[in-house]
Structure 1
Amino acid sequence: MTTETNHAEWRRDQPVIDMHTHIGVDHLEEAIELMDRNGLETMVDISAYSGETFDEFVEAIADYPGRFGVFGGFEFEDFGEDGWLERELERMERAVEAGAVGFKIHKRMGLVYTDPEGDVVPVDDERLAPLFEKASELDVPIAFHTADPKAFFEPLTPENERYAELSENPDWWWGDHENHPYRWWELIRQLEKVISRHPETTFIGVHFGCAAEEVGYVADVMRDNPNYVVDVSARLPEIGRHDPAFVRDVFIEFQDRILFGTDLGVRETLMLGSPQGFDPTHEQAEAFYDAHWHYFETDEAEIDHPTPIQGDWTVDAIDLPREVLEKFYVTNAQRILGL
């Protein structure tokens, strides 16, 4: 993009929060540079660190008050074994005391993690319930990355519309149903069950409720469950394929429960929403953010989305009102994450 939006000057005066990023502990200065260059006040790392990695990250960001937040994570490799639950509940208490703004459950739940019997653990396994109850007690949200784009469950052939991305990330293909027994809709419905079973817990469905191809479905789940929040990270390519007037109406209806996030990765190699097979420059990262601003702040049609490797198509922008943008960029994250 080469032109600014009508909201650009206003936005630069806002403490914009990117609540879905992945930052290496040795790249905090670079993250600060990127924030300052792109008009952001805060980045939240949602990598779901645990153990020493979490401790090191929390210690490092303490030198930059107000600029970073962090989600804690769980360790599921020994899920269901004696002592596992007690250990993870204690982990939650320590992490919140250290400053964690929430906890994230990775997409490996429902796809990879197994129980002591060797069965893949479904997303709605009731053995997870104490974690959700604990989150409510601690007044922090649980973020879920469940499943992946629908195409990641389809045959891995050049005809797959996400073939380029899957070729770059072959371990993201879930079409082997012998090893990954749950299909896309099964996983999404499992997440819905979790949300409805625990109305006192705030859940964040990352990547637009993990179902950006089904915006209407996500809106229905949000209507039925006031405790459900979504972010938009790395899903503008999918959201933007829907009718812009319809998407705009959804954003306005749920203006208090949608969060701005990009899935930017600031590590050895910058990641612009998805590993892209090359090492982006800071200028390309600026264009990445610029594409987000244009999608949310203009009514332009057939524009480039931020992450070309996620699909070779254009999207239609949704031109959100400024009062909605303020909630989306800033105040929703402040309220829900306690930033």
Structure 2
Amino acid sequence: MRAIRTLLPLTLATLLIGARAAPPGYSEADFTRVPKLDAHVHANRDAPDFLRIATKDGFELLSINVDYPDFPPLPVQAAIAYKMHAAAPNRFHFATTFSMHGFGAPDWTARAERQVDAGLAHGAVAVKVWKNIGMIARDTAGKRVFLDDPRFDPIMAHLQQRGVPLIAHQGEPKNCWLPLDQMTTDNDRTYFRDHPEYYMYKHPNEPRYEQLMAARDRFVARHPKLAFDGAHMASLEWSVDELARFLDRYPNAVVDLAARMTQVQVQSNANRAKVRAFFLRYQDRLMYGTDLTDSPPDPHARAQNPPATNDFAGEADRTWRSDWRYLATPLSQHVGAIRADAPGLALPRPVIDKIYYRNARRFFHLGG
């Protein structure tokens, strides 16, 4: 009994020493001093605002050019990216893209490769494909085009040979196929209400969510050596369990968190321990991103997700600080899009460093 009495204080002392030795998590005060990289933004305006607030808040940026009709034409997006990267090459990175116009024509592959190579020559670190593949684009014969179409194989081989990652936005949040009153977040309700052409609940003859995910999965499986970034949590934002299964099946894939934080918060409010365990387990496969979009002022512009604003720098700062509070600290905050308070995940410092910086630097071959 005496030995047991002696052991108990020693064990307690050891635990206390271990607890003191464990590195503390980050606080809100650490936000600006920790290196960070927002791996999913859109700089569509030739202006210094984005870089200025990114510098102030300690961010590098990865701006993604997109074949999207609500954005400036692709040549304009490219010119802005080239200029901003040349002005701040260590802080402003960008992904190029190609047009789907004329897909299926004999010269389409050569034209797409020329567009890609032009972007890479100016410093692009990745190539983006958008949800128009699967949801909008048709070939020259009028047939809907999906990502697993073998006619994409030559350009994907071109990327793989050059070691260039692919960023793929396929499908939409699962909310897109639900009635407005069954959606889980108000930001999705606003976006799909104002973009009815992308609101698939209103288009029952269009491809279903499951079809788009299956086509994406077949594509990833067919290109196992292509570095693949599933934008927007690979459109599996509604379930960390489903996203875990995706990451387990495809070791060449990572995902970014852009514009899907509210869906994560819905899940962590239901089961914080499970969501936190997901971030810990897949800490090497997740990259921070927001989808912040700095576009020219347009009084007729429709809602974006995140919303457009007349105070872009302020919106960027608020978004970044809110996400930091949620991911890096235990503090709670009210999240209007889910009409609830969301306690923070308080992820350990090494995990935050990976998600916010090191994973993207490694995946996009930026060093570090």
Give the TM-score range, shorter chain: 0.7 to 0.9
Deviation at 1:279, TM superposition (A): 2.8
| Aligned residue pairs, count | 327
- Higher normalized helix content (fraction of residues): 2
CA distance in 2, matches of 1:133, 1:54: 23
Bigger radius of gyration, 1 or 2?
2
Of residues 160, 166, 170 in structure 1, which corresponds to 2:192?
A: 166
Q: Which amino acid aligns with 1:225?
A: Y
Q: Is 1:222 paired with 2:247?
A: yes
Worse overlay, 95-104 or 60-69 = 60-69
Where in structure 1 are there 5+ consecutive unaligned residues? none
Of residues 242, 248, 260 in structure 2, which corresponds to 1:235?
A: 260
Q: Is 1:294 paired with 2:344?
A: no
Worse overlay, 58-67 or 323-332 = 58-67
Worse overlay, 7-16 or 182-191 = 7-16
CA distance in 2, matches of 1:12, 1:275: 22
Structure 1 pair 269–15 and aligned structure 2 pair: CA distance change class (3 A): farther
Q: Is 1:33 paired with 2:52?
A: yes
Of residues 75, 85, 104 in structure 2, which corresponds to 1:80?
A: 104
Moved over 4 A (4+): 157-161, 269-273
CA distance in 1, matches of 2:231, 2:214: 15
Structure 1 pair 212–178 and aligned structure 2 pair: CA distance change class (3 A): closer
Of residues 351, 354, 361 in structure 2, which corresponds to 1:324?
A: 351
Deviation at 1:159, TM superposition (A): 5.8
Q: Is 1:274 paired with 2:305?
A: yes
Of residues 60, 65, 73 in structure 2, which corresponds to 1:47?
A: 65
Deviation at 1:132, TM superposition (A): 1.9
Q: Is 1:111 paired with 2:135?
A: yes
Of residues 238, 262, 272 in structure 2, which corresponds to 1:213?
A: 238
CA RMSD of aligned residues (A): 2.5
8 Å CA contact retained: 2:49, 2:313: no
Worse overlay, 242-251 or 221-230 = 242-251
TM-score by length of 1: 0.87
8 Å CA contact retained: 2:174, 2:235: no
Deviation at 1:140, TM superposition (A): 1.4
Look up the match of 1:203.
Answer: 228
Deviation at 1:154, TM superposition (A): 2.7
- 1:48 match: secondary structure: coil
Deviation at 1:118, TM superposition (A): 1.0
Deviation at 1:33, TM superposition (A): 2.0
8 Å CA contact retained: 2:294, 2:312: no
Structure 1 pair 15–160 and aligned structure 2 pair: CA distance change class (3 A): closer
Deviation at 1:94, TM superposition (A): 2.8
Cα distance per residue 1:254-280 (max 9 Å; x no partner): 211110111111223599972537534
Look up the match of 2:82.
Answer: 58
Structure 1 pair 278–97 and aligned structure 2 pair: CA distance change class (3 A): closer
Structure 1 pair 212–138 and aligned structure 2 pair: CA distance change class (3 A): same
- 1:279 match: secondary structure: coil
CA distance in 1, matches of 2:295, 2:76: 18
Deviation at 1:119, TM superposition (A): 1.6
8 Å CA contact retained: 1:264, 1:272: no
- 1:81 match: secondary structure: coil
- 2:33 match: secondary structure: coil
Where in structure 2 are there 5+ consecutive unaligned residues? 1-24, 68-73
Deviation at 1:153, TM superposition (A): 2.1
Deviation at 1:148, TM superposition (A): 0.9
Look up the match of 2:334.
Answer: 304
Q: State, as a whole percentage, how many aligned pairs show the same letter.
A: 25
